[in-house]
Structure 1
C-alpha cells in the first residue's frame, strides 16, 4: 500500500470524474454514485432531490458526508481518495462558478439551462463539500 502525497491526491481528483457520496443518519447508511467537479478547495455535485427519494432525507440537514473516488487500473492497482466534510447547498451567489467547476471535471456535456428544468418530481441543485479530511492511497498486486 502506498499513501498519497497532496500532489498525487490532486492528480487523481482531477483525472477521475465520478465517485460515491455517502451519508449516515441514525446508523442508517446511504450511498449514491455521482459525478463531481473539483477546484482544489471543494467538490461540487449536481444532485436531484425527489420527493419520493431517500437522498432528500439526508441532504436537507447539511450532513457530514464521505466522498470516495477510486480507479482500478489494468496493472491491478487500485487508487482511492476519501474526503469527509459537511455537504452544503451552493449559495445562489456562487451558482455560476460552482457550475463551471462541475462542467470542467465531468465526462459528459452539461447544459445549465436544460439542467435547471424539472422532470415533474425532482429538483436539481448544486451542492458542495469542502473537505475536512482528505487522504488517498494505492494498493494491489501491480505497480502504480
Structure 2
C-alpha cells in the first residue's frame, strides 16, 4: 500500500518540524545495520541533537557484532515509533551513516548524547568498566507518518 493510499485513510505525512519534535520527545528505537544477508536489528536508546544527529551508546566487549557493523561510515536505518492506540500512532524512519565518536570527544557531544535518551541501569555499571562506545548517526534522509484520529469513514459515517 502506498503512502498516497494511506493518506485517503487518514494517515498524514509529518513535516520537518513534526519529525524534530517527535525525536526530541522520544528516546528509544530500532537500529538496523547492514550485513551481507539480513539486516542486524536491535532496540537501542538514542540522544538527539535537535538537528540531524542521533547518538547511540553501545555496551560492547572486546568483540561486538553491532560495533563491527558500525565501523567506519556504515549505512544504517533507525526507526522510532509510538503507538498509543489503533487510531493514534506516529513513526519516523531515519536513513544515514553511523560512526564511532572517540572517547576524548564525548564531552563535546554530552548534552545531545544524554538529553532525551533512555538508558537501562546496566549502562551505569558499563561506564565504570569502560565497555562503552558512543556512536553518532548522521541522518541523511527521514520521513514520518502519523495517524491522530479516527479513519474518515468512522469519523463522519454516512447516515
Task: Give ranges in structure 2 of 5+ residues lacking alignment.
Answer: 1-10, 152-159
Query: Is the CA contact (8 Å cut-off) linking 1:99 and 1:126 kept in structure 2?
Result: no
TM-score using structure 2 length: 0.74
**Secondary structure of the residue that 1:73 maps to in structure 2?**
strand
Cα offset, 1:101, TM superposition: 1.1
**Secondary structure of the residue that 1:130 maps to in structure 2?**
strand
Distance in 2 between residues matched to 1:4 and 1:114, nearest whole Å: 38
Q: Which has the higher strand share?
A: 1
Cα offset, 1:105, TM superposition: 0.8
Q: Which residue of 2 aligns with 1:33?
A: 43
- RMSD between superposed Cα atoms in Å: 2.6
**Equivalences for 1:25-64 in 2 at 5 Å?**
25-39=35-49, 40-64=51-75
TM-score using structure 1 length: 0.81
Q: Which residue of 2 aligns with 1:90?
A: 101
Counterpart among 82, 86, 92 of residue 81 in structure 1: 92
**Secondary structure of the residue that 1:132 maps to in structure 2?**
strand
Whose Rg is larger? 2
Q: Which residue of 2 aligns with 1:142?
A: 150
Cα offset, 1:53, TM superposition: 4.0
